[in-house]
A and B are shown apart, each in its own frame.
Chain A
């Protein structure tokens, strides 16, 4: 095989090799990206200014106001106010 032909063939093979390995790398990166979508779609961190204290501390408000039995136990005695209105309002 003439030297010029060998050189040309070498250059073609080299480009082919580089091209294939380059594509392979890109595919792997793409697969990695789609394999872990959770990172891409995970909710953004909440704004600190509106972040609930309850997420980091005990929420005594909700503990009580979300518990029917506790509310019944702690409710002030019901005082019935008899309306003195007469007739349609």
Chain B
């Protein structure tokens, strides 16, 4: 996505914006400042991102969303903290909080980052001349942040790899699955919006695969016949509850290694380096098996965490590094009807290349990945039948 020119970032559509609902509100009511023809005077105490204080600026008209959004994953970034807390000890949290503030917090999202402007992380700038868009732009908002993995997969930007069928044939946008309810943190229970419903017993999501609440979307939300065992496809009946959908219907996706963060001595700016990114397709054991995710095998993506990732801020800050796998549960967004795995039974059975075996794991990460490493490759179908006959 090409960055906008400075003037382009702040150019208001003077014809359309004043006719919209938000155009009826005084500029100063949200942005403060002073009505004055001189730019410097006008910008006195200017609030560039009014929706950072959604409780004051958005809640008058959007009380329900403003109330719950601070607990959403996009605003609170609890997914980061779930992982950081698990891999560290409380004694190290001051240093980790400093690191988080310098490197991770820039991914924090406000109302305006989705409904008015491109995310700040990408340079910002109005998407539609300050006209508030109910539905965020897929490319200017969603994949502007979620681009290097999900965006590239979904839109088919990797050479020789098709875009996800939901985009290629269904022309579906991110928000068709990831609805406003999910984005605004409304998974936390019906009573947030429907006062007549019983008080929610669900805490806000603390990571994106959280099962403790009404986590959506799932493939089965639309493809419910497969979840119910009503699919006529034999492989769905055979593997329905053992394999996640992506094991058969996903193709190569990006993994990353070794992200390290520090502050530049030259400029004083925070920066990161990742050791590498590469395409993989790896099946492993499910590290978060649950009633909603009963699968025995799932696709795994190597995430760019490293034991010394935060050494700039302190020694051994991830002292519980082995608490979570570095090959993480993953839902690649490049779904295809036909994939190399669907060509035959033995495309997977007996094919050690596809599975996360110990020899594919870095030695220093073996303990962390013990729960996802596949010890025994499912035997080739011919061998399996011979074994069964032998047993009889």
Contact = CB atoms under 8 A, between A and B. Distances in A.
Interface of A: 46, 50-54, 57-68, 71-72, 74-76, 78, 81, 83-89
B273 interface: yes
B42 interface: yes
Main secondary structure of the interface of B (DSSP, over half): mixed
Contacts of A87: 256, 259, 272-277
B272 A89 contact: yes
Interface of B: 5-7, 10-14, 17-18, 23-28, 31, 33, 35-37, 39, 42, 130, 148-149, 254, 256, 259, 264, 266-267, 269, 271-277, 304
5 contacts: A52-B18, A61-B42, A66-B12, A84-B271, A86-B274
Contacts of A60: 35-37, 42
A75 to B, nearest CB: 4
Given A50-B25, A59-B35, A84-B264, A66 B274 contact: no
Contact of A62 (B5, B12, B24, B256): B12
Contact of A66 (B5, B13, B26, B264): B13
Contacts, number: 92
A46 to B, nearest CB: 7
Interface of A is mostly: loop
A60 B27 CA distance: 10
Given A59-B27, A65-B12, A81-B269, A88 B256 contact: yes
B14 to A, nearest CB: 3
B150 to A, nearest CB: 12
B24 A52 contact: yes
Complex A-B, nearest 4 residue pairs according to Cβ-Cβ distance, in ascending order: A66-B14, A87-B274, A71-B7, A84-B271
A79 B381 CA distance: 62
Most buried by B among A60, A68, A81: A60
A85 B270 CA distance: 9
A4 B148 CA distance: 104
A76 B27 CA distance: 21
A85 B271 contact: yes
A65 B6 contact: no
Contacts of B23: 52
Given A61-B35, A61-B42, A75 B7 contact: yes
Contacts of B25: 50, 52
Given A68-B7, A81-B269, A88-B274, 12 more contacts: A51-B24, A58-B35, A59-B27, A61-B27, A62-B27, A65-B14, A66-B12, A75-B6, A85-B273, A87-B273, A87-B275, A87-B276
Nearest to B275: A87
Contact of B277 (A52, A81, A88): A88
B302 to A, nearest CB: 12
B102 to A, nearest CB: 13
Contact of B10 (A51, A57, A71, A78): A71
A64 B277 CA distance: 45
A53 B6 contact: no
Contacts of B271: 83-86
Given A65-B11, A87-B273, A88-B277, A54 B256 contact: no
A78 B3 CA distance: 12
B314 to A, nearest CB: 21
Given A71-B7, A72-B7, A76-B6, A89 B148 contact: yes
A81 B273 CA distance: 17
Contacts of A53: 26, 28, 35
A51 to B, nearest CB: 7
A88 B275 contact: no
Nearest to B129: A66
A71 B35 contact: no
B35 A85 contact: no
Nearest to B7: A71
Contacts of B275: 87
